[in-house]
Amino acid sequence: MLLSQGNAIHILSRKPTNKNPAVKEFGWDVENGNIDERSMEGVDAIIHLAGENIGAKPWTKKRKHTIISSRTKSLELLCKVIKTRSDSRVKTLISASAVGYYGDREDEILTENSDPGTGFLADTCVQWEQSADLAAALGLRVVKLRTGVVLAKEGGALPKIAGPVKSGFGTILGSGKQWMPWVHLRDAVHAYAHALSNEQMEGAYNLSSPHPVTNKAFTENLAAIHRKSIWLPNVPDLALRIALGEMKAIVLSSNRTDSTKLQNTGFNFKYQFLPEALHNLYG
């Protein structure tokens, strides 16, 4: 989408492939603090999306360190390069963050002014955002998008949730009352572009549909779009705690986020309601 708007794109990758002639790829090694500084030439803005997948592996002590450092060290490395290059023209940093910032808050309506929660996900997001704020200390405009569950068929959480439902074995997790802030991929992409072009935006914004739903409602809507029924009993909290350990927070935390602040910047969600978002994705 950014290319279609006439932007020139540089990509930082651990393994540059240069398969797409429309973009330029450059290498970096975050753990060792190495980056191809040619990547910064002519760059006006940075969109930071780097970070290890939180749900890919169990949260061992080593894994937790990797999840946090992949986010914080990469931002610190970018800020270091910006600070040391006398010819840097970077004015804006758009950084991903997540609704995990708020922890498990049951039915509390969460705005950007709400305090951070507790637990590993909240700690990760707090450190993530603090590293992004290093760019603000350098005089950059910093926008942090606290993103909900991004709905896309190509990857992320949706295929993992939809798989059992499509096969007829979908079920509600825990009580089903936990709130799931979600956002359609199209709206997520457009929100990042909106933050890039809207120079009045600064600070944290909740990036999730104006109408979050509970896990029960999400599962039932997903079943309806696939013409399936939810006949299995809920998976008890205790079973999830035993199976997932601390990672239970990914599926049991309740985040009832409010996106009014983002909408007040002039951003309009195309998919505000879950049924229409799922219909667009699955037809």
Are 192 and 147 spatial neighbours (Cβ–Cβ below 8 Å)?
no
Q: Tell me how many domains the chain contains.
A: 1
Is 17 a domain residue?
A: no
Residues in contact with 110: Cβ distance below 8 Å, sequence separation at least 6, in sequence order: 99, 102, 206, 255, 256, 257, 258
Q: Which has the closest alpha carbon to 179: 118, 102, 263?
A: 102
At residue 229, φ and ψ (nearest 5 deg) are -115, 150
CA 99, 54, 182 angle in degrees (round to 5)?
35
Question: In angstroms, how far apart are the furthest CA atoms of the chain?
Answer: 63
Is 24 a domain residue?
A: no
Residue 241 pLDDT class (50, 70, 90 cuts): confident
Q: Give the H/E segment covering residue 222.
A: helix 215-225
- The CATH number covering residue 138 comes to 3.40.50.720
Token pair 């600064």 is found at 202
Rounded Cα distance between 69 and 74, Å, is 8
Q: Which two tokens mark 175? A: 């009580």
Task: Give the model's pLDDT for residue 250.
Answer: 87
* Over residues 157-171, mean pLDDT: 90
Is 82 a domain residue?
A: yes
Task: Give the model's pLDDT for residue 247.
Answer: 82
Task: Give the model's pLDDT for residue 150.
Answer: 96
Q: Is 125 helix (H, G, I), strand (E, B) or coil?
A: helix
Is 194 a domain residue?
A: yes
Q: Which two tokens mark 15? A: 């393994």
Task: Give the model's pLDDT for residue 95.
Answer: 98
Q: Which has the closest alpha carbon to 49: 147, 154, 170, 181?
A: 147
Using CA atoms, how far residue 175 sits from 230, 247, 253, in Å, is: 14, 17, 11
Token pair 């986020």 is found at 257
Q: Which has the closest alpha carbon to 252: 176, 186, 183?
A: 176
Give the count of beta carbons closer than 10 Å to the beta carbon of residue 1: 10
Beta strands in 59-140 (DSSP E): 92-98, 109-110
Task: Give the model's pLDDT for residue 103.
Answer: 96
**Which residues constitute the domain of residue 101?**
42-282
Is 30 a domain residue?
A: no
Is 156 a domain residue?
A: yes
Are 174 and 215 spatial neighbours (Cβ–Cβ below 8 Å)?
yes
Quick: pLDDT tens for 13-41. 999 888 888 999 999 999 999 999 999 99
Residue 80 pLDDT class (50, 70, 90 cuts): very high
Residue 44 pLDDT class (50, 70, 90 cuts): very high
Rounded Cα distance between 197 and 144, Å, is 14
Is 5 a domain residue?
A: no
Is 122 a domain residue?
A: yes
Q: Are strands 213-214 and 92-98 parallel, antiparallel or unpaired?
A: unpaired
